[in-house]
């Protein structure tokens, strides 16, 4: 019975929520399906804001892995390439000299680290939607980039793109030799790589798509049936205008504007006035909970409005159908707590990691609101810290907690820890799953500035914990996590 209710809720979410990026994917959605249609994507400034190679250089500088001589050679080589004095192969060779000190295994690990810490936050949400649209259509999706696989394979895995066409470095006995394998995947080389790939995979290039920002990719743009200049350079924009190619420009990532900085400052700053607004009610009624409720509701509404974040809710009735409850949510963004305040409004207690206390704004404010802080590094202390949360539930207050425990760098769902579910079972209250489909679009991990966007929140029916036992807890958690996975797949 519970599974049928969850399925119905998921179906209702699909039916009632138009695609957030439908205006971006309209052509793909309306077009034909089939694996004989290719969808080729450039990487830098197309799927990612900025340039992936820059993050590798920055990481090497910050960590002292790049000598002054290496930096000088890299900058000089880049300058010579931009001036047209050397070709692309010489450019890659000149900027890869330092790699001879690393094993290939070490550089693969470095690529994964840089993607997680830096590049994942730079994926354009609109480009992610485009990739998903092509995958839904059953198209053969590939990255085609002048970068090396160490820069872009983590991105391909994240976006579930199975094919990578790129520039290759020579490796012998697990170490880089400093040589570049020919042909490189640049300019005409990209077109050649796409032709070869299309022939091997029975792809009709005349029906295929290619997305890029650069006029240097003109050879490949000219051989596909659907060229897509995306965040185009000035030269490519001029070429596209002459040829009637449709242009798209995304501003959801990259350097934020002054308006976004102001919005973020005001949204965060609104927390303190929201707390002060509740003080007269607390003084007159002698109820600190009344003050906290008012502050929670006001900050949720005012903060999201100032940040330019609209929340599209499906299943809102489940927020109120059974309280107290343990409300759980997938943790993609630092803005999630603001979203929780907007949704739940009153009579809630948050659970946060101990580190939040060190934040000069959120630490004192959340402490005043009765937040339960736990030390994730000490399991015994964390369980002990949960006791006030059980007491709060028994007193009629609800709990808001992220069972993943920490923010994800990508929309992928992390492992669920047992604390939230054990808490609900102990107090005898239901679990209410809140699925944020894309709060990461507003503020990804490691980012500081909120981007105006629409966040989808799907609220599933309360899951009773009556009858749960420690022996069945793992299976109950697995079933709820599967519900999250299905809901996120529908986005």
Please give the distance of CA 295 from its chain centroid, rounded to a whole number: 29
Active site residue 42: yes
Residues 399-420 as b/e (b if ≥16 CB within 10 A, e otherwise) read bbbbbbbebbbbbebbebbebb
* 8 A C-beta contact, residue 220 and residue 245: no
* 8 A C-beta contact, residue 213 and residue 232: yes
Tokens of 296: 């929670």
Active site residue 29: no
Could you say which of 29, 42, 285, 375 is catalytic? 42
* 8 A C-beta contact, residue 342 and residue 301: yes
Taking CB atoms within 8 Å and a gap of at least 24, the contacts of 110-118 are 110/56, 110/59, 110/150, 111/56, 111/150, 111/151, 111/153, 111/154, 112/154, 113/59, 114/55, 114/56, 114/59, 115/154, 115/155, 115/158, 116/154, 116/409, 117/409, 117/446, 118/55, 118/58, 118/59, 118/446
Could you say which of 44, 213, 336, 441 is catalytic? 44
DSSP assignment string, 256-318: PPHHHHHHHHHHHHTHHHHHHHHHHHHHHH--HHHHHHHHHHHHHHHHHHHHTEEEEEESGGG
Q: Which residues are catalytic?
A: 42, 44
């Amino acid at each position: 019975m519970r599974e049928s209710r969850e399925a119905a809720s998921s179906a209702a979410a699909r039916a009632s929520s138009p695609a957030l990026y439908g205006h971006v994917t309209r052509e793909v959605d309306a077009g034909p399906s089939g694996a004989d249609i290719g969808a080729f994507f450039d990487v830098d400034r197309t799927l990612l804001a900025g340039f992936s190679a820059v993050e590798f250089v920055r990481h090497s500088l910050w960590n002292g892995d790049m000598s002054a001589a290496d930096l000088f050679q890299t900058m000089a080589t880049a300058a010579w390439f931009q001036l047209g004095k050397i070709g692309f192969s010489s450019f890659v060779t000149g900027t890869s000299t330092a790699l001879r000190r690393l094993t290939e295994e070490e550089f693969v690990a470095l690529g994964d680290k840089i993607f997680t810490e830096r590049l994942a936050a730079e994926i354009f949400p609109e480009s992610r939607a485009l990739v998903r649209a092509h995958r839904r259509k059953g198209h053969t999706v590939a990255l085609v980039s002048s970068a090396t696989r160490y820069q872009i394979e983590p991105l391909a895995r994240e976006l579930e793109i199975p094919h990578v066409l790129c520039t290759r470095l020579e490796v012998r006995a697990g170490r880089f030799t400093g040589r570049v394998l020919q042909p490189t995947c640049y300019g005409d080389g990209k077109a050649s790589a796409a032709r070869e790939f299309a022939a091997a995979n029975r792809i009709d290039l005349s029906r295929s798509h290619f997305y890029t920002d650069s006029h240097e990719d003109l050879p490949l743009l000219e051989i596909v049936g659907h060229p897509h200049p995306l965040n185009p350079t000035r030269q490519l924009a001029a070429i596209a205008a002459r040829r009637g190619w449709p242009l798209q420009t995304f501003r959801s990532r990259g350097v934020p504007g002054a308006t976004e900085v102001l919005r973020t400052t005001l949204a965060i700053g609104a927390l303190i006035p929201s707390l002060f607004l509740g003080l007269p009610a607390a003084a007159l009624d002698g109820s600190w909970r009344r003050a906290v409720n008012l502050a929670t509701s006001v900050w949720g509404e005012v903060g999201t409005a100032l940040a330019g974040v609209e929340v599209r809710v499906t299943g809102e009735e489940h927020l109120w159908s059974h309280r107290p409850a343990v409300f759980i949510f997938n943790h993609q963004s630092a803005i999630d707590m603001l979203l929780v305040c907007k949704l739940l409004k009153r009579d809630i207690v948050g659970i946060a990691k101990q580190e939040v206390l060190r934040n000069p704004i959120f630490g004192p404010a959340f402490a005043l609101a009765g937040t339960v802080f736990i030390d994730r590094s000490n399991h015994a202390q964390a369980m002990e810290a949960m006791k006030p949360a059980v007491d709060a539930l028994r007193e009629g207050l609800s709990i808001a907690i992220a069972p993943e425990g920490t923010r994800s760098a990508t929309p992928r769902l992390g492992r669920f820890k047992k604390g939230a579910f054990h808490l609900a079972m102990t107090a005898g209250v239901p679990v209410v799953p809140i699925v944020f489909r894309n709060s990461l679009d507003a503020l990804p991990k490691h980012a500081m500035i909120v981007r105006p966007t629409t966040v989808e929140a799907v609220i599933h029916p309360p899951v009773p914990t009556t009858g749960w036992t420690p022996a069945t807890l793992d299976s109950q958690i697995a079933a709820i996590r599967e519900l999250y996975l299905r809901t996120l797949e529908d986005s």
